[in-house]
Chains A and B, each alone.
Chain A
C-alpha cells in the first residue's frame, strides 16, 4: 500500500505519462520505455530525457547535432501576461488600423530555415518574428499574446509532463474518443464515485462497459484496499484497456478483479476456465492500445504510439490488473454483499441489470447508474420505487461551464460541452421484513 506508484513525484523508466503539447493542443499518453519517441510537428524526439524528471516539468524541442531532442525548460518565477502600464494603454488600442496581408512579416520561410541551421532556438525565432512584424506593436496586448502563443506553438512547441490521474485520462478520452468511454464526462464520473461512496476498504461492484475508465477510477480511490469487481453479465469480460494508462502499483492492480454474474449465483462455479481464455485474448488487444492513446488524432501521433507501444521488459513482472476473482473472494461477496455499485453500460437494459445485481449488494448500499439517455433511467427509477427496493432515488445531470478569467475580459468560455450524461442514484433498503431476527 505504501509504495503506490501513483504517489511518486518523479517519472521512472516504464511509467505512463500524459504529455500535454502546447497547452492542451494535443494530449498523448505515452509509456517511458527506452525506445519511446514522440513526433512533434515533423520532428521525432526520444522520450528518454523525461525519465527521472518531476511531473510538471516542461520540455522544448531543440535542434541538436544528432537531430531534434527534448530539452528541459527552467521556468522563471512570476510575471506573464502584462504589467499595469499595458492595461491602461490597452483601452486606447483597437484593430481599426490593422490590414491583414502577407507583407506584415518580413522574415521569410527561408530565413527561418537558415536560422534553424545556425542553431537558433525556437524561442529566439519567435522573438525574431515579433521584431520583424510591422503590425505587432499596433495590436492590442491581448492579440499580441495570441500572436506570440501561435508562433510559439509552431516554432517552439512545448511538452508538459503530467501524471495520468483519472480526471486527465477521462478528459482526454472525452475530447478525442468520447465513444470509447460512453461519453462519460469527468464531472459525471466524479459524481458516480461520490454517489457510490467509494472509500477505502469497500468492495465496489462495477459494470463497466466504458473501456475500464470506471474500474480505474474506483481503483484509484481504493488505493490498494478493498476491491473493485468488474462484472460481466454474459460470458465475455468487458475490456479494461484504460486501466493500463494509470500508473497503478501492484498493490492496486491486485485489487482489480473480474467476475461473471453467474459465479455469484448460488451453486454456480465453473465459468472460470472460459474466462481465462478470454483473458489472453484481451491481452492482445491491450498490447495494441498500450501507451497508444494519442488523443489528438493525426498521423504523426499514431506513429509515435506504435513506437511507444513496444513493451518495456521490466514492466512484464507487474501484476496484471483484472485477474479473475478467487473462489474465496466470491464466497465472501456471496455472504457479505458488495458495499456499493456503479453501472456504466450504455448497451444493456438498466432495469434488468439492476434486478440482477441489487440482490448482491449489502443493505443500505448506495448505487449510481450512468446513462446517456434519460428514458431508461426514468423507467428504472420508476420500477425501483414500485418494487420498494431502493430509496433516496434521484436522477441528476451535471452542468459544467468553464470561465475565461482575465482583467476586464472575464466571461464564460465560448465553447462548452453541452452534455455530460445522466445519473440515477439511490440506496438499497432491507426488503426481507421477516429478517428482524
Chain B
C-alpha cells in the first residue's frame, strides 16, 4: 500500500497482478478488501466475479460479473483501509487520524510509539507518515489482537514499517530499549495517565504526545499527569460534517406558488453509486447541497502535550 521505492507508486502503467490487494468498490459505503488470487472468485449481490478477469487490468477499472453486474477495483490507501478493515475494537477515523498525524509533526524518518494497536486503523496511517525510513512501534496487551494486526500489516504491506509488540503498557510502560527514541507517542488506552510517565521517558527532547480518550474524565486525569513533565497541553475535538447534493429543475406554472423545484427524472440504474441524482438535464437546473442528516456525534478528545525542555 505504501511504496517502498519509486517503482511502487501508482501509475497509469501499473496493472493488477496476482497477489495484489485491491479494494472492491460497490458503493461509497460498501467496499471490501480482496487479495487477488488466480482461480478465486468474489461473490456478491451483483454476481460472481472471477479474479482471473482482474489480472492485467488497471487499478480503477470497472469489472463485470457473469450476469453483467459491476464493481470497481481500487488501489488500497490507508483511508480506504480504515473503511474496510475488520473491527476488532473501536477504531480511529480519518478526521482524528489526519489531525493528530499533523499535530504530532510526524514526517518521513520519524520513530513513533503507539498503544494500543487495536484494529490497526491508525497504525496504517502512521506507517504512511514515517515511510520510507522511519518506524512505528505499536503495542497491545491482547495477544490475539496483536497477532491479527500483524497479519493485517502483512496483507497491506506496511509490515516493514511497523513492529507489533505484546505488552501491558499501562502496567509496564514502554520497553526500556526505546527510551529517548521517539519523536512522537500516541496513546489510545482506557487509563492513559498510567502510561504517560513512561511515554515521557521515550520521547526525544521537545517530542510530542497525543492521547485519545472518549470521556472527559479520562482527559481530566491525563492532563493532571501531563502537567508534571509536559507543556503546551491542549485538548481538541474534531468532527466531520458531510454533505449530500441534489440537482433540481425550476419549473414555472406548476405548484401553488407558480414555481416549484423538481428532481429531474432518475435513470434506472443497477445500483446508485453516490447519493445524488443522475441527470438528463435540459433547461435550467441547479445543484443544491445540504448536510447529511446523520453523522457521528462524538469520537473522542485528542489531548496533545510537548515534553518540557529541561
Contact = CB atoms under 8 A, between A and B. Distances in A.
Interface stretch (B168-176, B227-235, B252-260): B227-235
A193 B12 CA distance: 21
A225 to B, nearest CB: 6
A400 interface: yes
A364 B75 contact: yes
Interface string A365-408: 11000000011011101100110000111111111111101010
A337 B108 CA distance: 23
A313 interface: no
A79 interface: yes
B205 A336 contact: no
A141 interface: no
Contacts of A335: 12-13
Interface string A55-74: 11110000000000000001
Contacts of B128: 197, 199-200
B304 to A, nearest CB: 10
A75 interface: yes
Contacts of B57: 430, 436
B211 to A, nearest CB: 11
B156 to A, nearest CB: 12
A393 B72 CA distance: 14
A235 B52 CA distance: 47
B249 interface: no
Interface in A181-218: 186-187, 189-191, 193-195, 197, 199-203
Q: Categorize the interface residue count of chain A.
A: 35 or more
B interface majority secondary structure? mixed
B237 interface: yes
B29 to A, nearest CB: 10
B9 A201 contact: yes
Contacts, number: 264
A428 interface: yes
Q: Which of A381, A385, A386 has its CB near the most chain B CB atoms (within 10 A)?
A: A385
Contacts of B308: 56, 75, 77
Interface string B82-111: 000000000000110111011101011110
A220 interface: yes
Contact of A375 (B28, B99, B131, B289): B289
Interface string A68-91: 000000110111110000000000
A328 interface: no
A interface majority secondary structure? mixed
A407 B103 CA distance: 25
A4 interface: yes
B219 A395 contact: no
Contact of B276 (A194, A223, A382, A398): A382
B245 A79 contact: no
A427 interface: yes
A403 B219 contact: yes
A186 B304 CA distance: 15
A395 to B, nearest CB: 4
Contacts of A200: 2-3, 108, 128, 131-132
A53 B167 CA distance: 36
Contact of A427 (B12, B61, B74, B125): B74
A180 interface: no
Contacts of B94: 191, 194-195
Contacts of A403: 216, 219, 235-237, 301
A286 interface: no
Given A4-B109, A75-B308, A397-B241, A435 B287 contact: no
A197 B25 CA distance: 17
Given A197-B78, A336-B12, A382-B287, A6 B107 contact: yes
Contacts of A414: none
Nearest to B291: A397
B179 interface: no
B9 A203 contact: yes
Given A77-B228, A430-B61, A392 B25 contact: yes
A378 B288 contact: yes
Given A195-B94, A382-B276, A9 B206 contact: yes
A190 B233 CA distance: 20
Interface stretch (A142-150, A161-169, A298-306): A161-169
A346 interface: no
B228 A78 contact: yes
Nearest to A423: B240
B60 A56 contact: no
Contact of A395 (B105, B242, B301): B242
A79 B225 CA distance: 10
A339 to B, nearest CB: 4
Contact of B108 (A58, A222, A385): A222
Contacts of B240: 191, 396-399
Contacts of B115: none
Contacts of A399: 238-241
Contacts of B216: 403, 410
B10 interface: yes
Given A79-B228, A398-B238, A405 B303 contact: yes
8 contacts: A1-B109, A199-B3, A200-B2, A221-B129, A362-B10, A364-B10, A382-B247, A429-B61
Give the top 9 A-B pairs by smallest Cβ distance, nearest first. Answer: A223-B108, A363-B60, A56-B206, A364-B60, A364-B59, A56-B309, A194-B98, A190-B102, A336-B11
Given A382-B245, A382-B247, 17 more contacts: A56-B308, A75-B309, A165-B105, A187-B95, A190-B101, A199-B128, A201-B8, A223-B132, A336-B11, A364-B74, A381-B245, A394-B28, A399-B240, A400-B236, A405-B220, A407-B220, A410-B216
Interface of B: 2-6, 8-15, 25, 28, 56-62, 72-75, 77-79, 94-95, 97-99, 101-103, 105, 107-110, 125, 128-129, 131-133, 204-206, 216, 219-220, 223-224, 227-229, 233-243, 245, 247, 273-274, 276, 278-279, 287-289, 301, 303, 306-310
